[in-house]
Amino acid sequence: MAAKSGYTRRLPLTGETAPPPPSAVLYVANCGPAVGVTDADVRSTFGAFGEVAGVQAADDSGARIIVRFHEPAAAEAAMAALHGRPCDLLAGRVLHIRYSVPVKPKARPGGSVPVAHAASELGIPGIYMVQEFVTAAEEQELLSAVDSKTWKRLAKRRVQHYGYEFLYETRNVDSKQFLGELPTFVSTVLEKIASFPGVKDCATRLVDQLTVNEYPCGVGLSPHIDTHSAFEEMIFSLSLAGTCIMEFRKYTKGTWRAPSVVDGVDEDSSQEPECIRKAIFLPPRSMLLMSGEGRYAWHHYIPHHKIDAVGGQVIKRNSRRVSFTFRKVRMGPCDCEYKQFCDAHSKRC
Ligand SMILES: O=C(O)CCC(=O)C(=O)O
């Protein structure tokens, strides 16, 4: 994750056994506005060990901060007293503290992307978003329905699959293993999908696979393009309960790459090459359609943030987000126009 402060925690070097060199700067996890700790709390807690030169957010999470002392000895004393044990001045909160180092500059320009409130502001062909797609009562019914079913636990989130099981190792499905029709609790959503703006073909059955994702607060999803050979063109994603930002990335030297997600463990994407980035805010009850270029050629990504900056507003992700992603399993070859992003094309060549 990019560090806004210009500092990050110092990771031990391979084979390192000696204690880390002293530094006046500390990286403090489990501390910050997202977990109810104010700047004043931090200054009074750490100020007991020496003059605090500055306190800043370590990243966008709201739960990790950088504390800068003037003297390394003060940082050392604070770490010895506060790391890994309940802190009385912070209502028993356990802080995780390391020495901090300046972040190395990245090869590509990073930083935040302006966040759109409407798909039309994104200017990505094939991406549509409808707010209040389901009512608050329908949202509650959908949440109760999935909460009464069995969740499958992945590393950072829980999932359910209907129609066909989604296989994370290959990011594909076994199209011969039909699990059955989509559950009746999504019937209203399916009816509404057929009248979605941008939906080209209402006559055929539009979707037959559903993945329900439950993301705890602050958990995101690594950048990916849904495998072309696995699913047809239209992918619908309904957001419930919580909010998120969805970022779209088009790699300028894009080619199809092997999936980077195994068993739901999302890899760090900070080493990604140069790309065009656009972002949209997804409120609860909104439906997103990814089709055409937006589905086939742009990666979609949910940053791991506890706090999202949307326009001038700071939006706390203080609830889980549950998404219902509806797709249609592809039974024939993919004949999209976006060959450089197409796994089916790269297999044929
Ligand atoms: O949570 C979402 O809205 C997107 C889910 C998604 O992209 C996926 O399951 O592959």
Q: Which residues pair with 222 in a beta bridge?
A: none
Residues facing residue 316 across a β-bridge: 307
Which is nearest to 100 in space by CA: 67, 71, 52, 62?
67
- Whether 154 shows a pLDDT value over 90: the answer reads yes
Would the pLDDT of 83 be above 90? yes
Q: How far is the CA of 204 from the centre of ligand 1 (A)?
A: 23
Q: Where in the chain is the domain with CATH 2.60.120.590?
A: 115-348
Single-letter amino acid code for the residue at 126? G
Q: What element of type H or E holds 39?
A: helix 39-47
> Quick one: pLDDT band at residue 272, thresholds 50, 70, 90?
low
Band of pLDDT at residue 22, cut at 50, 70 and 90: confident
Q: Is 60 exceeded by the pLDDT of residue 268? A: no
332 or 111, greater pLDDT: 332
Q: How many CA atoms lie within 13 A of 155 on its CB side?
A: 11
Calpha distance 82→29 (Å, rounded):
12
Specify the residue with its C-alpha closest to ligand 1, atom 8.
325
Confidence label for 80 from pLDDT (cuts 50, 70 and 90): very high
Residues of the chain with CATH 3.30.70.330: 7-102
Q: State the amino acid at position 212 in one-letter form.
A: V
- Of all residues in the chain, what percent carry a pLDDT higher than 70? 83
- Please give the pLDDT value at position 309: 85
Q: Are strands 166-167 and 313-316 parallel, antiparallel or unpaired?
A: unpaired
Average pLDDT, the chain: 86
Return the ligand 1 atom nearest residue 166 CA.
Answer: 9
H/E segment holding residue 42: helix 39-47
- Which pLDDT score is estimated for 107? 37
**For the residues 45-66, what does the mean pLDDT come to?**
90
Is pLDDT of 251 > 90?
no
What is the length of the chain?
Answer: 349
CATH of domain 7-102: 3.30.70.330
**Best mutation site among 235, 300, 327 for ligand 1, i.e. most ligand atoms within 8 A of its Cβ?**
300
Show the ligand 1 pocket: residues with CB < 6 angstroms.
Answer: 211, 213, 221, 226, 237, 300, 323, 325
225, 302, 320, 326: residue to mutate for ligand 1 pocket, most atoms within 8 A of CB: 302
Residue 142, CA distances (Å) to 38, 139, 155, 166, 241 in order: 37, 5, 24, 20, 10
Predicted confidence (pLDDT) at residue 266 exceeds the cutoff of 50: no
Structure-block tokens of residue 134: 């389901």
User: Which residue pairs from 79-85 have beta carbons closer than 8 angstroms and sit at least 24 positions apart in sequence?
Assistant: 79/26, 81/49, 82/45, 82/46
Record the tokens describing residue 248, joined without a space.
């779209």
Nearest atom, ligand 1, residue 238 CA: 3
C-alpha of residue 260 to centroid of ligand 1, in Å: 15
* Domain spanning 115-348, CATH class: mainly beta
